[in-house]
Amino acid sequence: MKKHGVYQVLDDNMGVAYIGSTYLPLEQLEANHRNWQEKGYSETKFRKALVEQGQDWTFSWALEPDNVSRPYIEICEGALIRYMKPTYNVSMKPYERSVYEGRYEKSI
């Protein structure tokens, strides 16, 4: 099982700009978000803001990676999103979105 964690991106004023989850190392994840156009990734509200105004934004772990399932970490991610109210998150319930998009069945 891959280790999954929840990351946060803090803006210049130490507010939470974005919360997400990943199994990637933090440095690789940050490079992917900052270089999304070169990598052919889709534009998101967060990625656009990161390129335009987030040169000094910092990526860090909100929940360190651990041997937990992707559904579990997405439920934790969603709780943190709803609690912290980050500026650029659009989806407030990542687990439910993953179920809707068919990434896995609605059971843990």
Q: What is the mean pLDDT of each run of 10 residues along the chain (108 residues)?
A: 94 92 96 95 95 95 95 95 96 85 66
pTM of the model: 0.89
pLDDT at 39: 93
Query: Alpha-carbon torsion 49, 37, 64, 91, what sign?
Result: positive
- Give the residue numbers spanning the domain of 52: 4-100
pLDDT at 73: 95
pLDDT at 105: 61
pLDDT at 103: 79
CATH of the domain at 29: 3.40.1440.10
Q: How many domains does the chain have?
A: 1
Residue 61 lies in a domain: yes
Residue 105 lies in a domain: no
pLDDT at 80: 97
The three-point CA angle 75-12-34 to 5° equals 65
Q: Where are the beta strands (DSSP E) in the chain?
A: 4-10, 16-22, 58-66
Name 19's bridge partners: 8
